Amino acid sequence: MSQAPQQKTYYCGAGAAYSVLAYLGFSTSHDGESLSQTCIGGSCGPGAPTSQKYLETDYWGNTPWYVSQTDWPVPGTLNYWRTGVYTGFYAAELPSTEGSYETELTYDIDNYWPTMPDVWEQVGNTHLWGHPNVDIKHWIAAFGYSNYGAGTDYVDPAANSVVGWTSVQAYNYNYPSSSMYYMMGLFPYGHVW
């Protein structure tokens, strides 16, 4: 998987989704659009440049986990970009246990489907590697695992980006899945798998 540095300070979701779609080989959408962070962030579709066709990032100023019962921007984007239908393989969920997260992660990765964890890094609490000790809500793309799922391998769109966090690495291996699960569990987050 290639890491895509987020192009705007609030584009972690766009950077992570770009990495997933590029990895899956979808450089063009079902509707014929060219893959770019700005397209899935809001420049493609009705209402551009703040279109709600894909991630709704420019509309909201972030990539929301959830908008309504029928509007889950990240799984909807990953599905629609590939198939032209908002529902399908990818779904958003907070696994009931850390073990469930590890099972879902290993299942998807073993079948060549990257996942997208959405985490909340709170001040004075658990953070992704290299992130500053500030309140951060952040999307990443998981592409692998270690130790039967006890470690999560991911690309971080904050690396080499406009965010300017110089200690963040593009590729991160064997991040403790217990910590990942903890940060996903800080309501209302989880992962798209």
115-167, pLDDT tens digit by residue? Answer: 999 999 999 999 999 999 999 999 999 999 999 999 999 999 999 999 999 99
Tens of pLDDT, residue by residue over 155-188, are: 999 999 999 999 999 999 999 999 999 999 997 7
Assigned architecture for domain 92-192: Alpha-Beta Complex (3.90)
Residues making up the chain, counted from first to last: 193
d(CA 191, CA 14): 15
Q: Is the pTM of this model over 0.75?
A: yes
Which sequence spans correspond to the domains of the chain?
12-83, 92-192
pLDDT of residue 188: 76
Residue 60: both structure tokens together? 């909201």
Dump pLDDT digits (tens) for 9-58.
999 999 999 999 999 999 999 999 999 999 999 999 999 999 999 999 99
184: part of which helix (H) or strand (E)? Answer: helix 177-184
